[in-house]
C-alpha cells in the first residue's frame, strides 16, 4: 500500500496497516555514539513479569527475539556502529531500580555501556520514569546486566540537562602487563580492566599506530586482532557470574602520562587499571577525548571497595547526551531483508 499525502499540509503518512512488526524508538547520541532507545518491547516486558532476572531475560531475548536486535541495529535501519537499549520496567529484571536496560549492538548483547547510561539518565527523567525528579540534580537508578549503576542528571523542573554523570559497578584490573601474541603484530603488553564489561587496554604505539593520525580502519583492524588474541590466550573470571566473563573489546590509548592535565585520546573498539597501578589517586579527574569526534568525557575513581577477591574502585564517568529524534520502524513480513543485514 502506497504512502498517502494529506491535503495541502505537505505531510506524508505511512501505510495504514503495515504487515509486520512496528518498533517505536527515541534516538540519542553521547559524544557522537548513537543510542536507539526502545521504550517498550512487549516480549521483554512479558518475560520480566514472569520473574526473570535481567541476565536471564538477556539470555531469553537473545535466544528467541534476536531478529528484533538485528532489525534495529543492522542495515538498512542501522549500521555497523549502531547501538540500542531496550527499556524494561518492574519485575525482578529492574530489581528496585527506576528502569532496567538490555544493551544491543551489531554482534550481540553487552553487559554494560557507559554512553548508553548517560543518555538513559536523561531519557528516564524526560519520559516520566522517575516519579518525582528534584532540582538541581536527580539520581536515577539503572539496572544493567552487570549490576545497578546510578546516574546523576541535571533537572531544571521541566527537562533534563547536561552534563550527566554516573557511578559504575565496582571496577578492577583483571590483569596487568599481560604479554599477548597478536598475529601480524607480534608480542604486545596489555592490561585487562573491568567496569561492567572487560576490555583490553594498550598504547597504540605498540601496534605501530597513533590514535590521532593513523587511519581509523587500521586502528579498528589492529584493536580487533588484539581482542581475538586475548580471547584465545587469557581466561577471564567474573566474581559473580560467568555470563559476564567475556572480553567486550580493546581500547587503544595515546600512552599519555596519567598525571598530565592534557586530555588523553583513545579509540574504543568493541579506568581504572591506572588506579590499580598507583598511577592515579582517588578523586583525580582525567579527561578523555574521542579520536573521531573530539568529544570529551571525564572519569575518576571516587571510592575504594572490594569485588570478590579483587581490590576495586567505584568510578564516576561524566559526559553529554543529546536527543536526535524519534522514529517508527516497520518490519514487513514479505521483505526478504526484514531482519537486516550486516555491512562492514
Over residues 311-322, mean pLDDT: 94
Please give the pLDDT value at position 43.
Answer: 84
More confident: 331 or 91: 331
**What H or E segment, with its residue span, contains residue 118?**
helix 114-126
Over residues 276-286, mean pLDDT: 71
Domain ranges of the chain: 17-163+322-332, 172-317
CATH class of domain segment(s) 17-163+322-332: alpha beta
* Whole-number Å distance between alpha carbons of 40 and 96: 18
User: Up-side HSE of residue 292: CA atoms within 13 Å toward CB?
Assistant: 14
pLDDT tens for each residue of 247-264:
999 999 887 655 456 666
Q: Which of 113, 144, 146, 268 is catalytic?
A: 113
CATH code for 172-317?
Answer: 3.10.310.10
* Whole-number Å distance between alpha carbons of 171 and 301: 9
Ramachandran assignment for 102, one of left (phi > 0), alpha (psi -120 to 50 degrees), beta (any other): beta
pLDDT tens for each residue of 201-258:
999 999 999 888 889 889 989 999 999 999 999 999 999 998 899 999 999 988 765 5
Count of other CB atoms within 10 angstroms of residue 173: 21
Same topology between domain 17-163+322-332 and domain 172-317 = yes
* Whole-number Å distance between alpha carbons of 11 and 5: 6
pTM of the model: 0.85
Specify whether 113 is catalytic: yes
Amino acid at each position: 500500500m502506497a504512502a498517502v499525502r494529506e491535503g495541502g499540509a505537505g505531510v506524508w503518512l505511512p501505510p495504514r496497516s503495515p504487515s509486520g512488526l512496528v518498533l517505536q524508538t527515541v534516538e540519542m547520541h553521547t559524544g557522537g555514539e548513537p543510542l536507539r532507545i526502545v521504550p517498550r518491547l512487549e516480549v521483554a516486558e512479558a518475560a520480566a513479569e514472569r520473574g526473570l532476572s535481567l541476565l536471564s531475560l538477556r539470555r531469553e531475548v537473545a535466544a528467541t527475539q534476536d531478529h528484533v536486535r538485528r532489525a534495529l541495529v543492522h542495515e538498512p535501519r542501522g549500521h555497523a556502529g549502531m547501538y540500542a537499549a531496550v527499556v524494561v520496567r518492574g519485575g525482578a529484571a529492574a530489581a528496585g531500580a527506576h528502569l532496567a536496560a538490555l544493551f544491543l549492538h551489531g554482534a550481540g548483547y553487552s553487559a554494560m555501556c557507559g554512553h548508553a547510561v548517560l543518555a538513559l539518565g536523561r531519557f528516564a527523567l524526560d519520559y516520566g520514569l522517575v516519579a518525582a525528579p528534584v532540582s538541581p540534580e536527580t539520581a536515577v537508578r539503572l539496572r544493567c546486566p552487570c549490576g545497578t549503576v546510578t546516574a546523576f542528571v541535571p533537572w531544571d523542573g521541566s527537562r533534563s540537562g547536561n552534563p550527566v554523570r554516573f557511578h559504575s559497578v565496582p571496577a578492577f584490573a583483571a590483569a596487568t602487563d599481560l604479554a599477548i601474541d597478536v598475529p601480524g603484530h607480534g608480542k604486545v603488553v596489555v592490561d585487562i580492566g573491568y567496569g561492567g564489561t572487560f576490555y583490553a587496554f594498550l598504547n597504540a604505539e605498540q601496534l605501530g599506530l597513533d590514535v590521532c593520525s593513523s587511519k581509523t580502519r587500521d586502528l579498528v583492524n589492529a584493536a580487533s586482532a588484539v581482542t581475538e588474541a586475548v580471547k584465545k590466550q587469557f581466561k577471564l573470571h567474573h566474581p559473580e557470574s560467568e555470563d559476564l566473563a567475556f572480553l567486550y573489546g580493546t581500547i587503544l590509548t595515546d600512552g599519555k602520562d596519567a598525571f598530565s592535565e592534557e586530555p588523553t585520546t583513545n579509540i574504543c573498539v568493541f579506568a581504572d587499571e591506572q588506579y590499580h597501578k598507583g598511577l592515579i589517586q582517588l578523586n583525580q579527574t582525567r579527561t578523555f577525548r574521542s579520536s573521531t569526534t573530539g568529544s570529551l568525557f571525564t572519569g575518576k575513581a571516587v571510592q575504594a571497595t572490594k569485588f570478590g577477591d579483587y581490590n576495586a574502585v567505584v568510578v564516576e564517568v561524566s559526559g553529554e547526551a543529546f536527543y536526535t529524534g524519534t522514529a517508527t520502524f516497520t518490519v514487513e513480513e514479505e521483505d526478504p531483508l526484514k531482519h537486516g543485514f550486516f555491512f562492514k
